[in-house]
Chains A and B, each alone.
Chain A
Amino acid sequence: DAKTTQPTSMDCAEGRAANLPCNHSTISGNEYVYWYRQIHSQGPQYIIHGLKNNETNEMASLIITEDRKSSTLILPHATLRDTAVYYCIVRVVGEAAGNKLTFGGGTRVLVKP
């Protein structure tokens, strides 16, 4: 499985953009990068995913480097409700792998007023 490396924690200011980095240097060509977050006591929430191109949706933007060895999740205007643990996951595909998501430790993001 391709592994990911994320900072353990980071703070960001309310109203500012939050940039969350992730390294996945052993990613394979057909593996997607997924981002989820878990707000305390809730189930993980899907944010965004991508393969090669940058992606944007109503929640966030995902920037994937050209060599695909790292990515950045951008929350454009962080709010207090964005305080959560953010997980960067490389999804192993194929029938044998079962298409499951393997969660690591994530980045604990604290948005401060």
Chain B
Amino acid sequence: NAGVMQNPRHLVRRRGQEARLRCSPMKGHSHVYWYRQLPEEGLKFMVYLQKENIIDESGMPKERFSAEFPKEGPSILRIQQVVRGDSAAYFCASSQNGQGGNSPLHFGNGTRLTVT
């Protein structure tokens, strides 16, 4: 059973370009979470999605960042007009269900975004 797949593993963008990060959850998982880890810092929650719905976006920056999890295909984290401060590792996690707290999140190995 394949784990959470993220691509690309490394992404380099110039300031002002767009970055698109993809996440395919584990088979049978319908809940997706995105986290960001700045260099030498901890993991920060960004957004929690179910198929076609954003459930909790309390950690998303108000501008330039968006996320989706369509009915078909991977979840996408989109960063418009990237700036150097967006350079970080972005991790995606998935879980089987979202209620009750008894369903572990399983993480991918992340996308490392570098903005030049």
Contacts and interface: CB of A to CB of B under 8 A. Distances in A.
Main secondary structure on chain A at its contact with chain B? loop
Given A99-B95, A100-B56, A32 B101 contact: yes
Interface residues of A, number: 28
A26 interface: no
B100 interface: yes
Interface in B55-82: 55-56, 58
Interface in B83-113: 89, 91, 93, 95, 98-110
Contact of B42 (A43, A49, A94, A104): A104
Interface of A: 30-32, 34, 38, 41-46, 49, 51, 91-95, 97-106
Contacts of B33: 100-101
16 contacts: A38-B43, A42-B110, A44-B93, A46-B107, A91-B101, A93-B101, A95-B55, A99-B101, A99-B103, A100-B45, A101-B45, A103-B42, A103-B44, A103-B45, A104-B42, A105-B42
Nearest to B108: A43
Nearest to A38: B43
A93 B45 contact: no
Contacts of A103: 35, 42-45
A101 B102 contact: no
A99 B104 contact: no
A68 to B, nearest CB: 14
Given A43-B110, A44-B93, 12 more contacts: A43-B4, A43-B109, A44-B43, A46-B104, A46-B105, A46-B106, A49-B102, A92-B101, A95-B99, A100-B56, A101-B33, A105-B42
